[in-house]
Amino acid sequence: MMDQATRTRKIRIGGVEVGGGAPVVVQSMCATRTVDIDKTIAQTHQLARAGAGIVRIALDNAKEVPALKEIRAQTPGVTLSVDLQENYRIAGKVAPYVDKIRYNPGHLHHIEKSKTIPQKVKWLVDIARDHDLAIRIGVNCGSVAPAFLEKYPGDQLTAIVESAAYHCALMEEYGFDRFVVSLKDSDPAKVLEANRRMTERRPDVPLHLGVTEAGLPPDGIIKTRLAFEKLLAQHIGDTIRVSLTLPNERKHEEVVVGHQIIADVKAGRFISVPDFGTGMNIISCPSCSRVENEKFVELTQQVKELTTYASQYRITIAVMGCRVNGPGETDDADLGLWCGPTTVNLKKKDRKVGNFTYEDVLPRLRSEVDRLIAERSPAMN
């Protein structure tokens, strides 16, 4: 495994060391429904067997905590992280069953509006300290804290780096340093730049790298490599996750690919794809416990096949697995699809086109792609 520079501080997450010269840790996330205990236990083992040092599980509400408790009991030795999503208050209930909590600074304002952000962070720090947990400050370009968007209008990269730096400072003010930071986006160029800037800003803070919604392999792997190869070669990144759209039985391939990228960088093998990203760009989430219909992965593959005829056009299509992040994460795409239990919502930028069955959405998508192509002059291809 590749050792990173000793510049970052070393922290412990469960039984795993991150940063400070420790080998880069590959993480992954369960895509099974958390309440489906047997499947989630099986997937946790599947990911750990493939070499995941940390396995993340998403919880939406307190009703899912008994499932997490059972998952914890049946996965001894696996370092578990939990994603708090919009409900940071769930941290108090999940803390006994995990080794790390991940919160998104851009989601803290959603609940308990009478409390300040520092009050909320202090509460999370106290929970972490009491339960021997680490924390990930997980900043995402798709959900930047409103205060930082207002402070740096039109400069999203500065907004996310400053938001992360602010949360680092809050943690330290409360005497807590067992944290890592992630700065994610679906655009590898932004991931590259954001992490370089964060390293300049806070060289001591361990970083978790990720290109969100990288999509189906092989394109999703190429997008991830575009950012990871350069960053890892500069000793930036102490943990990584490769977010690929894969069916559950192949989910462990994320981990295999992560280890392969690390090995390639260590051996000086870089995959150069100079023209990648100049044509059709399909973004799709890796799915998680929130995915509303397992047809999501198949739908993404169908979107890829259906749009092959337009591969030379610079069009971005986003396919997302749920109603929670789907509406927001598709806003910047030319065309967006987000899945519900029985239907798919189709959008053109931030405007809703309609709600279609999983079958009917494909011909409608085709006509929207045709319309986009017709609207564009050849120079804009």
- The DSSP string of 18-79 is ESTTPBPEEEEE--S-TT-HHHHHHHHHHHHHTT-SEEEEE--SGGGHHHHHHHHHT-TT-E
CB 343, min distance to ligand SF4, A = 15
Query: With respect to ligand SF4, which residue has the nearer C-beta, 60 or 229?
Result: 60
Binding site for ligand SF4 (CB under 6 A): 285-288, 290-291, 320-322, 324-326, 329
Query: With respect to ligand SF4, which residue has the nearer C-beta, 161 or 288?
Result: 288
Query: With respect to ligand SF4, which residue has the nearer C-beta, 199 or 289?
Result: 289
CB 370, min distance to ligand SF4, A = 27
CB 346, min distance to ligand SF4, A = 16
CB 62, min distance to ligand SF4, A = 18
Pairing mode, strands 351-357 and 343-348: antiparallel
> Which residue, among 232, 196, 190, 230, has the nearest Cα to 211 in the 3D structure?
190
Query: With respect to ligand SF4, which residue has the nearer C-beta, 291 or 346?
Result: 291
CB 285, min distance to ligand SF4, A = 3
Query: With respect to ligand SF4, which residue has the nearer C-beta, 288 or 310?
Result: 288
Residues 73 and 64: their CA atoms lie apart, in Å, by 15
Query: With respect to ligand SF4, which residue has the nearer C-beta, 10 or 295?
Result: 295
CB 117, min distance to ligand SF4, A = 23
Q: Do 237 and 4 touch, CB atoms closer than 8 A?
A: yes
What are 144's two structure tokens? 């930047």
Q: Which residue carries 């400053």 as its tokens?
A: 162
Distances (CA, A) of 364 to 47, 67, 373: 37, 39, 14
Could you give the 3-state DSSP secondary structure of residue 4? coil
